[in-house]
Amino acid sequence: MEFNLDFFSVKNKVIIITGANSGLGLAYAKALGKCGAKIVVAHYDDNTKEIEEYSKENKIDLLLVKGDLTKQNDQNNLIEKTLERFSKIDVLINNAGTIIREPLLEYSEKSWNRVMDININSVWYLSQKVANIFKKQGYGKIVNVASMLSYQGGKFVPAYTASKHAVAGLTKAFANELASLNIQVNAIAPGYIETANTAPIREDKVRNAEILSRIPAGHWGKTDELMGTIVFLSSQASDYLNGAIIPVDGGWLAR
């Protein structure tokens, strides 16, 4: 097959993105929608104004589905609403996540369970459900959102670290079993990116200086610096990529 730029096209692909009404997920939704994909935003709160306005301005076919992805019924509703509207699912991007900062020796059961339920349990169950649809379709892609803490330990975020290590492991486990079904499962691992989740770190002058000193690029990443990778992972160009965790980190892991 002769190579052409259509390999990177996501035009008319139906892409579910969880937690895509803010932060990294919003950037993914904007990029993929601008490239012609039909976007399904799974959101927990009502803060959808920005993605709605952006979609209207750029003529993006957008479906908003509100729900709590830690609940099986809400996961089922997300899938049902997507299939009712578009009759297929091409890509699932598991972006929704949370982080709770507490000293390890004081970390509460409530905090642990909340982080694990959102960051890994919902990824497991939703991916399993969508993978069964992909099996019937004969194709599909799952893109998980990992982290630098899929590789490292971090401080004051034991549940987040454990969950992101689990995301990396689950990515590989899914890839091993689903590759023969023409289903690709990979992950993007953002570095230190300017989002609401990282605001407390950036506002800590000492911690911020420590982080910047280790990033070869010399600055915190912007959400739009992840857009190219997410488009690649959602496109035909990544058809032979499976089980990969791709860091987009300004060189953090190479340091």
Q: Which residues are catalytic?
A: 160
- Tokens 């488009």 — which residue? 231
- The per-residue b/e assignment along 165-200, b for 16 or more CB within 10 angstroms, e otherwise, is bbbbebbbebbeebeeeebbbbbbbbbbbebeebee
Q: Which amino acid is at 94?
A: N
Candidates 179, 22, 200, 9; CA nearest to 100 is: 200
